Amino acid sequence: MHAFKLITASLLVAAARARSSQAAFSTQGELPLQSVTSQDAFTTLSHASYPNHSVRIKRTDGFCDMTGVKTYTGYIDIEARHLFFYFFESRSNPAQDDVLMWINGGPGCSSTTGLFLELGPCRHTENGLEHNPYSWNQNTNLFFLDQPVGVGYSYADHGETVVTTEAAAIDVAAFITIFFETFREFRGRAFHMSGESYAGRYLPVFAAEVIDQNMKANIEGRTPINLQSVIIGNGYTTAALMSLSHYDMLCTNASGLPPQLPAAACVAMKAKLPRCRQWVTKNCIDTFDTISCGAALEFCWAAADAPGFNIYDISEHCPPENNFCGSELTRGVEEFLNKPDIRKKLGATKPDNFTSCSTPVGMAFNLAYDTFHNSRPYIEELLERGVRVLQYAGTYDLACSWVSNLWNVHDMQWTGRESFNEIGLQSWNFDGQVAGQVKSFGGLTFATVYAASHMVPIQKPAESLYMLQQFIKNQEL
């Protein structure tokens, strides 16, 4: 959900309920993932570098992916906090293919939206789970992670919470380290971090934490995480830019559609743009003042408000009182993941009720002003350290539009800025048809996907898979 529109259990009891078996291992990581064989019981893994963290993991073969690949689910336990994950081995060559992690945004939304509606091995429909031939595990070993605690099947004991991206990054980096350090067949394998929407805020910070943990790994003589890239779809990376693009999206043909608003409404919106841009630049980007930035953002969102449109897909019209029509898709996923037999198969012990998006988590991040902050400096640092970045966007999205994301990459302060900005957008093709536009230089790639929404793989599954595969192979679109 958009940032502005937006469990109490004992670890011992949960472990007993899952009949966990303790699997010890050294920092040399002599445990292959294939040694986790139980479909009923968790195997619990720990690591000396993270004495307060452990992983409970079990086999869930046959769930979602109908092609026979090995499937795993489980929790990362961080003292009283427990993050749930799904892992699907590659359909092609799991022994050689890269590892890809996917998270959804919110803040506070489960990655099951990506898993069951977008890019996972199956799609949830009114007829049940159906095979997805365009799953992103076609050529990658694929994670879906529900974070922070309180999201999806993730839960906390004693009311513990995480309310900032920086705090969430510590837990996510710990999980990644434990996985790669434990399962020897993946150690040193190329790793990519991907997601959409508020993941544009999350992922740059999470990736920076992984890099920082790699420095510790080098000191301790461990193999560092081979972080190759960060992939952000319709990202909420710089809050200050989001509403500024509404005029372009609704009053010009930037979306690929004719202007959507009456001329008088566009005149009024355009008149407020200079003040909005000046105010948010001063208080949210050049310097950061919580109160002033918040006031500027609220003013600009109000000035750019456009009732009657689905802000995730402006080709859809909604009732004026509801700019988020289409939520019936996630309601079906919620009903499915609350079925007792599904929870049992996955080993999901908590919470009692699964929801696709957690209002309490979203509100907590808002109250901590996390939604005001700008993650662009982290992307700049990642580029300087050789981590490649892909920012892509569906052209029908208003919430985190392709226009605002293009502004964001043009404003980045890094050594390749001048050369990147001099390059014009060029068409990229799929199956003989123009699929969008792209520009790339020195590790940074920006791409649009025509006629796609906030969640690109829903409308353009084949195109988005091709885009991913080309980027991971470091080949041009």
- Among all residues, which ones are annotated catalytic? 197, 397, 454
Beta-carbon contacts of residue 163 (< 8 Å; ≥ 6 apart): 364, 365, 367, 368, 370
How far is residue 152's CA from residue 161's CA, in Å, rounded to a whole number? Answer: 14
How far is residue 230's CA from residue 89's CA, in Å, rounded to a whole number? Answer: 20
How far is residue 428's CA from residue 450's CA, in Å, rounded to a whole number? Answer: 10
Listed residue (280, 273, 274) closest to 294, CA to CA: 280
The structure tokens 């991206």 sit at: 165
